Amino acid sequence: MENNRKVVIVGAGFVGTSLAYSLLNQGTVDELVLIDINKEKTIGEEMDLSDGLPYSPHKMNIKAGDYNECKNADIVVITAGLNQKPNQSRLELAVENTKIMKDITYNVMKNGFKGIFIIATNPVDLMSYVVLKTSGISKSRVIGSGTVLDTARLRYLIAEYLEVSSKNVHAYILGEHGDSSLVPWEHCYIGCKKMIDIMEENNFPMEDLEKIHNKVWNAAYEIIEKKKATYYGIGMALNRLIRAILNDENAILTISTYQEGEYNQSGMYIGVPAIINRNGVKDILKLKLNKKDQEKFNHSCEIMKENIEKEINPLLD
Q: Report, as residue numbers or ranges, the catalytic residues.
A: 177
* Cα dihedral 187, 242, 136, 315 in deg (nearest 10): 80
Q: How far apart are CA 158 and CA 190, in angstroms?
A: 9
Q: Do the beta carbons of residue 173 and residue 254 sit within 8 Å?
A: yes
Please check whether residue 151 is in contact with residue 132, taking contact to mean a CB–CB distance below 8 angstroms: no
At 77, which helix (H) or strand (E)?
A: strand 75-78
CB atoms within 10 A of CB 315: 13
Question: In this structure, are residues 140 and 245 in contact, taking their beta carbons and an 8 Å threshold?
Answer: no
Write the CA distances from 104 to 39, 66, 77, 192, 200, integer angstroms: 15, 11, 11, 43, 50
At 119 the three-state DSSP class reads: strand
Collapsing DSSP to helix, strand or coil, 14 comes out as helix
Alpha-carbon distance of 171 to 198, in angstroms, equals 14
